Amino acid sequence: MSQLVDPFGREITYLRVSVTDRCDFRCTYCMAEDMTFLPKRDILSLEELDRLCSVFVGMGVDKLRLTGGEPLVRRNIMWLIERLSRHFDSGQLKELTLTTNASQLAKYAHRLYELGVRRVNVSFDSLDADKFQAITRWGKYEKVMEGLEAAKDAGLHVKINTVALKGVNDDEFEKLVRWSHENGWDVTFIEVMPMGDVGELRLEQYLPLSMLRAQLQKSFTLTDLPDKTAGPARYAWSEETGGRIGFITPMTHNFCESCNRVRLTCTGTLYMCLGQEDSADLRQPLRASDDDQVVEDAVHEAIGRKPKGHDFVLDRRRSRASNPRHMSVTGG
């Protein structure tokens, strides 16, 4: 039984942790090309991240997902993963996963598997190398492909996360499904979320997944599945390819009723909801005292304010983000 229960009776068992706001890509829907990153003094040390994550594990969180930015560009990140993996031995931690752009997986995939990581989510939006370059701005297509091969070779299960971008990759959805399933991977499509000023018009990017699904149903027989992961995706099975397709629809059909997760930024700020601005500063109590009880009290107080749902909306008059934080700050 989780020791963290929000005001709506939802048990909080899943913590997403942004270990850095930095990334070696500049994806058009996530970051501005000329980003201003946080000063080092504001960032939690790896030791502080270990302590804070361990407090959450002690309070009933049994799934940790490390995100960024790009988590694998954080210096000495494998030290933190090795430290967190000790919670497998106690049985308190059931899963330790990452969301990554795969640029560093060729280097780290085998070590991740050795430390107990079994799944990674890979953000990947186009099989066309030129289009991939345009979307990521700084991404190296060949490096990502090498990383995906390394993940497969290491035994890591991969889930491809693709943001549906109208007029950009909307001619590739069938191809992405076939490619993912041929490799034995799930693929999940995600609606553009109105987070941060990224220098792109949101309404020009936005494609409702109801339209994407209708497009896929011209090629695939889709059967809805009851499958539930700790995340917000709803899944369907494709008869023709023998694989799962996920749909994450924060705009057209939110997934708040079963939300079991909170998000911790690399500065120690806890967001109880991705789409709300209410937050709790855990860095101050963490640095003020060696007593974990002080931190636990702050966490309990924050969970007591977790809202029922988010307020994502696209402003059709100004095409602006309804939430000023960049995705890279909160960790997706």
Q: Is 69 a known ligand-binding residue?
A: yes
Q: Is the Cβ–Cβ distance between 32 and 197 less than 8 Å? A: yes
Class of domain 14-158+258-330: alpha beta
Separation CA 34–CA 32 (nearest Å): 5
Percent of the chain with pLDDT over 70: 86
**Which tokens go with 238?**
């494709």
In which band, very low, low, confident or very high, does the pLDDT at 229 lie, cut at 50, 70 and 90? low
| Domain boundaries along the sequence of the chain | 14-158+258-330
Adjacent-strand bridge partners of 323: 195
Q: Is 27 a known ligand-binding residue?
A: yes
**Which tokens go with 320?**
């602006």
> Is residue 60 left, alpha or beta, with left meaning phi > 0 and alpha meaning psi from -120 to 50?
left
Q: Strand order in 279-281's β-sheet?
A: 222-224, 234-238, 243-248, 186-190, 157-163, 119-123, 95-100, 63-67, 14-18, 261-264, 269-271, 279-281
Q: Is 263 a known ligand-binding residue?
A: yes
Instruction: Transcribe 149-212 into DSSP letters.
Output: HHHHHHT-EEEEEEE--TTTTTT-HHHHHHHHHHTT-EEEEE----BS--SS-HHHH---HHHH
Give me the phi and psi of 92, to 5 degrees please: -75, -35
The tens digit of pLDDT for each residue in 278-292 reads 899 999 999 999 999
The reported pLDDT for the residue numbered 316 is: 45
The reported pLDDT for the residue numbered 36 is: 77
For 293, residues 6+ apart whose C-beta sits below 8 A from its C-beta are none
Mean pLDDT of 188-198: 72
Separation CA 52–CA 46 (nearest Å): 10
The tens digit of pLDDT for each residue in 140-185 reads 999 999 999 999 999 999 999 999 999 999 999 999 999 999 999 9
Q: Is 86 a known ligand-binding residue?
A: no
Q: Is 273 a known ligand-binding residue?
A: yes
Q: Is 159 a known ligand-binding residue?
A: yes
The tens digit of pLDDT for each residue in 232-250 reads 789 999 999 999 999 998 6
Q: HSE-up of 229 (CA within 13 Å, CB side)? A: 20
Q: Is 193 a known ligand-binding residue?
A: yes
Burial class, 239, CB count within 10 angstroms (exposed 0-12 / middle 13-18 / buried 19+): exposed
The tens digit of pLDDT for each residue in 99-122 reads 999 999 999 999 999 999 999 999
- DSSP state at residue 127: S
Q: Is 41 a known ligand-binding residue?
A: no
pLDDT score of 53 more than 70: yes
Better-scored residue on pLDDT, 251 or 319: 251
Q: Is 53 a known ligand-binding residue?
A: no
Alpha helices (H) along 198-258? 202-205, 209-216
